[in-house]
Amino acid sequence: MGRFTRAGAMVGALVLTASLALTGCGDDQKKPAFVAGEQQSDPAATASASASGQTGEPAQSATPPLQVSPADGSDGRPVSSEIGATVPGGKLSKVVLTAANGKTVAGRMRRDGSSWVPSAPLKYATRYTATVTGTDADGQTHQGTSTFTTMAKPKSMIGSGLYLFSDKTYGVAMPVVAEFSPGIPKKDRAAVQKRMFVQTDPPQPGAWHWIDNGTQAYYRAPEYWKPGTTITVRLALAGIPLSNGRYGNVDRSATAKIGRAFEMKVDNATKRMSVYENGALIRTVPVSLGKKSTPSSSGTMVVMEKKESTVFDTRDEPDARNRYVTEIDFAQRITWGGEYIHAAPWSEGVQGRTNVSHGCVNVSMANGRWLFGKTLVGDPITVRGTDRKLAAGNGWTAWNLSWSEFVAGSALPVPDGGAESAL
């Protein structure tokens, strides 16, 4: 059995790296593939005026201006700043943000009306003017303005990645995976999570879950995504200040599609894989799982990467009995530790009867080719009945938790049933 190190994949222009010393039958280590503007402000002067027209109408008192954040005259504001204001008993109704060159900045109000979020990070070392309109509990309209300047580009940043790509079609178990290097400190996760937006069409509730070291967060729904769902993601991380003195590096976004429902279920007791498409059983496939010394992981995993042909090289394995170099066809990665579904012509004689692999799910050449042609990245595979439990984070393990266990890993409260993390 080999020892495998998880290595980061290029996501956009970023290479992320991490390690996970686990075992399996493959050694291919490549992966496929924040704080709202401060709600503080300097007290604005209250202006009032009275006037009476020639018609004899009673004089009207002007409403006091709003206290806008970032505060008027403030300097060194993060480029992640959101525009907010205090509206007693009311809410914001309109925000117009313009840069020093006169260009208007696009943005959207949060669903709860608490602030206005620019559609892209603000520019570094740039002056902006925000004109904010709000309506109070009595229906009166208030307005306020603030001119502020953003900070210079910081030198210390976190790396980030998004394992979702635009114009791609994924399986129903594809989680949204955000990755950070170094990990996000616990005290910062709520603020970061508040800037990670996910929208689904048709709408489905969901939640985020952080792994312990803060290097990854998964987003999923209570159940697998509905076939045909469109998922739109924005990790609005650029310029987010963290408690360790670092800042978010860039915004990342993607819009992807979920395909048909396809699921693989493997039972060690029968040594069979049952394959379902749109809920119907379409094939039963004999398998050979990991032998006693190198058992396969039991749990719900996700196809993360597909390679029609590759080479497994385990010459760095401490146990000489598990060292080999072998060409592999129709390989589908399901853990970072090196477990794959793949064709294994050498074990076809025992598939369905005996476990002989180094942890992989061995199938025949014909079934390997057939499965490879049917699956998508993001399709789920559940293995049960082996001596090893799937380790959290050894692959995209978001679906290996019950919904209650999953939401317990959120940095923000999650309503019953979940809620879309969208603007």
- With a CB cutoff of 8 Å and minimum separation 6, the contacts of 5 are 19, 20, 21, 29
Q: Is residue 179 situated within a structural domain?
A: no
Residue 198 has pLDDT above 90, yes or no: yes
Can you say how many angstroms the Cα of residue 322 is from the centroid of all Cα atoms in its chain?
A: 35
Can you say how many angstroms the Cα of residue 68 is from the centroid of all Cα atoms in its chain?
A: 31
Mean pLDDT of the chain: 85
Residue 150 has pLDDT above 90, yes or no: yes
Q: Is residue 251 situated within a structural domain?
A: no
Q: How confident is the model at residue 383 (pLDDT cuts 50, 70, 90)?
A: very high
Distance CA 29, CA 61 (A): 69
Q: Is residue 14 situated within a structural domain?
A: no
Distance CA 174, CA 258 (A): 8
Q: Is residue 102 situated within a structural domain?
A: yes
Distance CA 329, CA 75 (A): 58
Q: Which residue has the tokens 């970061």?
A: 192
Read off the DSSP letter of residue 276: E
The CATH number given to whatever domain includes residue 299 is 2.40.440.10
User: Is residue 125 a contact partner of residue 169, using CB atoms and an 8 Å limit?
Assistant: no
Whether pTM > 0.75 for this model: the answer is yes
Q: Is residue 32 situated within a structural domain?
A: no
Q: Is 408 left (phi over 0), alpha (psi -120 to 50) or beta?
A: alpha
Domains of the chain: total: 2
- Tens of pLDDT, residues 42-96: 333 333 333 333 344 444 445 678 899 999 999 999 999 999 998 878 888 999 9
Q: Check residue 45 and give its pLDDT.
A: 35
Q: Is residue 36 situated within a structural domain?
A: no
- Tens of pLDDT, residues 246-288: 999 999 999 999 999 999 999 999 999 999 999 999 999 999 9
Q: Check residue 137 and give its pLDDT.
A: 85
The CATH number given to whatever domain includes residue 96 is 2.60.40.3780
* Token couple for 110: 């949060």
- Tens of pLDDT, residues 63-72: 678 899 999 9
Distance CA 70, CA 261 (A): 47
User: Is residue 68 a contact partner of residue 128, using CB atoms and an 8 Å limit?
Assistant: no
Which residues form the domain of 116? 82-149
Q: What is the arithmetic mean of pLDDT over 352-368?
A: 96
Distance CA 149, CA 128 (A): 6
Q: Is residue 160 situated within a structural domain?
A: no
Distance CA 198, CA 217 (A): 13
Residue 31 has pLDDT above 60, yes or no: no
Task: List the catalytic residues.
Answer: 342, 360
Residue 368 has pLDDT above 90, yes or no: yes
Region of poorest pLDDT, from 79-83, 87-91, 109-113, 215-219: 87-91
Cα atoms found within 13 Å of the Cα of residue 169, Cβ hemisphere only: 10
SS3 406: helix
Q: Is residue 201 situated within a structural domain?
A: no
Handedness of CA 396, 388, 3, 20 (dihedral sign): positive
Residue 28 has pLDDT above 80, yes or no: no
